[in-house]
Every structure is written in structure tokens, then in C-alpha cells.
Chains A and B, each alone.
Chain A
Amino acid sequence: EDKVVQSPLSLVVHEGDTVTLNCSYEVTNFRSLLWYKQEKKAPTFLFMLTSSGIEKKSGRLSSILDKKELSSILNITATQTGDSAIYLCAVLVVGAQKLVFGQGTRLTINP
């Protein structure tokens, strides 16, 4: 059974801190790994990672995939209160053409 696990499930930090969110997966046929940010409504896309070791960056957010370790991390530097959200990791499975999601990490940034 395809499985995606995120850790921690919940994280509370102060504004300005740097955070690292983790995602590990066990799937039958990996195509890519995706990160989403969910505030109050629908998840919004952050990154898609396909190749191991190549960092994707967008402003203060960055992510990297380690195919050998079957995992990915999402880093957020100099956090701001607007970064408070649930961060979801998902794996796109080849053949079945489906996204399998982890449970999400609820990140809270206190001023």
C-alpha cells in the first residue's frame, strides 16, 4: 500500500526562526513529490520534485528530494506569521496517476 508520512505533525516556533518539515514515502512506482500549503481553504501548490538532490527554491522556501532515503524536506527561513498553515506532502504515483498525501504538518508562527 502506498504511504506518505510527515513529521512533525505540529510545530510552533517564533517569527524569524528557521523550520524544517519532513516527508517520507513508500510507494510502488514513484514519479514525483509535491509540497502544498493549506491555509483556510484549498491546498495551493508550492513545489514539485522529480530528481534527487536538486533543490527547488521560492523566496524563503526551499525543498530537496532524496530518492535514496525516500524522503524530502521543506525548509522555511526567517519565518513570518503568514507562513502559519498546514503543509502537505504528496507523492505522484506512476501508472495509477494518483496523488497520495501525508497527514500534513500544522505550522504555527508566533510573533
Chain B
Amino acid sequence: NAGVTQTPKFQVLKTGQSMTLQCAQDMNHNSMYWYRQDPGMGLRLIYYSASEGTTDKGEVPNGYNVSRLNKREFSLRLESAAPSQTSVYFCASSETERRGGIFGPGTRLTVT
């Protein structure tokens, strides 16, 4: 039982490059989330998926796309990275009737 896993742990991109952050959970949770965390800003929701096959925009969706591939996996794609997307990205999943989000270890992304 690994909980929530994220890959990669670290990534450096040049402006304009694209990449996909992967997230998987093995807890059979319905809901999955992508957050970014910047200093002094707490966690801001980028996109979420309340169930397999559905995705919705969060607070800061611009510049990102997501795919809920199946119940386990929820990926976040940056099509054309910008320095403003330098951040730590956390994936989380939840069983909403019980506790809130269980977080993955995070991906530290730097865009130069």
C-alpha cells in the first residue's frame, strides 16, 4: 500500500518546454487533486477530479491540463512551461466521506 505516488521528484525545464507530472493512488479513492505550493501562498488548487472521467478547474488552472486516466491515475501537463510555473506540485486523493486529502511527496519544478 504505497498511498499516493508522484513522479518525478524534481524537474528543471526551459521556458516553452512541455512535461507531464504523474500521480497514482492505490486507496481506491474517488477524488484526486493537483495543487501548487508557493512561499506564503498555502496550497492552491489547479485541477481536481471528483470521479473517474470527470475533471474540473480549480483556483489556478491557466497553463495546465489534466487527464484522469482511470480511477488510480491523475496526470498534470504543462504544454509550454513558464517561469511563473516554478513551484512545488502536490497530488492528493480523498475518500470524502472520511478524511480529506492524502498527499503525495511532491514534485519540485523549476522553469528557467
Contacts and interface: CB of A to CB of B under 8 A. Distances in A.
Interface string A67-111: 000000000000000000000101010001111111110000000
Contacts of B35: 101
B42 A104 contact: yes
Interface residues of A, number: 23
A97 B42 contact: no
Interface residues of B, number: 28
Contact of B42 (A31, A44, A96, A102): A102
A42 B48 contact: no
B99 A98 contact: no
Interface string B89-103: 010101010111111
A43 B33 contact: no
A92 to B, nearest CB: 6
Contact of B33 (A32, A98, A103): A98
Contacts of A27: none
A34 B99 contact: yes
Given A88-B42, A103-B41, A96 B50 contact: yes
Interface string A13-32: 00000000000000000011
Most buried by A among B31, B44, B96, B106: B96
Interface string B5-47: 0000000000000000000000000110101000011111100
Interface of B: 30-31, 33, 35, 40-45, 48, 50, 56, 58-59, 90, 92, 94, 96, 98-106
Interface of A: 6, 9, 31-32, 34, 41-45, 48, 88, 90, 92, 96-104
10 closest Cβ contacts across the A-B interface?
A42-B103, A103-B42, A97-B50, A34-B100, A101-B43, A101-B42, A104-B42, A97-B31, A98-B48, A43-B103
